[in-house]
Amino acid sequence: MGKFVISKRANGEFQFNLVAGNGQNILSSEGYSAKPSCLNGVESVRTNSQDDARFERKDSSNGKYYFNLKASNGQVIGSSQMYESASGRDNGIESVKTNAPSATVDDQS
């Protein structure tokens, strides 16, 4: 089962990572100035990850693949790691869809 790991950056901002059951980081958030905002981001991932239209599939300039998960207002909630192939990226999207709804929250901040 996946989990959202909340941590504090060196600059004092909070962020979360969605980590799959195998320990792989599958989605990383932006920085938030306050923990409640970070927790709202977690809830936004839970909700928006169930709508395939919220995933923006991207190709990077170095030939790798990644995705962004966006909220209904178009704001990016989280971004993936870089993948070697489009199929790897698509598997990452499926992992977010599977893990996010029931993921626990591990607050390490």
CATH at 57? 2.30.29.80
pTM exceeds 0.85: yes
**Total tally of structural domains belonging to the chain:** 1
pLDDT, residue 38, reads: 96
Q: Which domain, by its residues, includes 35?
A: 3-107
Q: How far apart are CA 88 and CA 90, in angstroms?
A: 5
Sorting pLDDT into bands at 50, 70 and 90, what band is 1? confident
Q: What angle do CA 105, 29, 23 make, to 5 degrees?
A: 55
CA-closest candidate to residue 21, choices 100, 88, 90: 100
Q: How far apart are CA 43 and CA 49, in angstroms?
A: 10
pLDDT, tens digit, for every residue of 85-109?
999 999 999 999 999 999 999 999 9
